[in-house]
Amino acid sequence: MNGRVALITGASSGIGRATAEAFAAKGTSVVVAARREEDLASLVTEIEARGGKATAVKTDVSATKDVEHMVAHAIETFGRLDYAVNNAGIEGRFAGITDLAEEDWDRVVNINLRGVFLCLKYEARAILNCGKGGAIVNVGSINSFLGFASGSAYVASKHGLIGLTTSVSAELAPHGIRVNLVCPGIIDTPMHHRARKLLGDEVYDTAVLPSIHLRRAGRPEEIAQSIVFLCSDEASYITGTTLTPDGGFTLTV
């Protein structure tokens, strides 16, 4: 992967940040995108301090112009695009279906599903134009399979990524571009901390943790390694599928 270029959305924290660091460690130049510019700047500084190459671009993935600019920035800076990781996402507001406001639904779906569609559209164009093939990984969730009360917007947006991924995989495979979906379980990220606070420590410790075979939350770098693997040549025969690094959670529920 040395000398190639990867674009990662939602790179300011959690899984996205760990993924950018994992790519950079393999000699891949990275383009990191998110809405929080200060966090992106610190990530670029850290990668460059280790001898890597990185550039940041402020991006709202639900905005077409932002996504188009993000991909153009990658090409202008590094001259090519080989890998893309569509990780940006939010949990939004949890509410029962009779109380969920339309604007709350729209905000979640616009970022988590429409945002991935927009990223795929412009990333695929760029990779195709480079003519060297590549790989794209979308980041879903165990809630791409499992629903939960009051989470309809989040769950629907993550379910949608399965159909989007398999369809785009079928389109791009003849051009040497593989597209896969990673569905992490409970991972030690800021989003996870917010969910734990909402549930309460007692519920988390007595109901959630015992459902994980490994009896712990995953680490962002563990998910990053799964993503990098799917982009690597070692995964050359894997496309249109879902990898679920969840510590065994979905085998219990």
Q: Residue 219's Cα: distance from chain center in Å? A: 15
**Structure tokens that stand for 182 in this block:** 């990673």
138 forms beta bridges with 86, 181
CB 11 within 8 A of CB 20: yes
Please give the DSSP secondary-structure letter assigned to residue 219.
Answer: P
Residue 122 annotated among the catalytic residues of the structure: no
182 forms beta bridges with 139, 243
Burial of 77 (0-12, 13-18, 19+ CB in 10 A): middle
CA distance 248 to 10: 25
At 34, give phi and psi (nearest 5°).
-175, 180
CB 185 within 8 A of CB 218: yes
Active-site choice (83, 122, 154, 237): 154
Find the Cα–Cα–Cα–Cα dihedral 33, 34, 36, 42, rounded to 10°.
Answer: -40
CB 57 within 8 A of CB 33: yes
Which residues form the catalytic set? 154
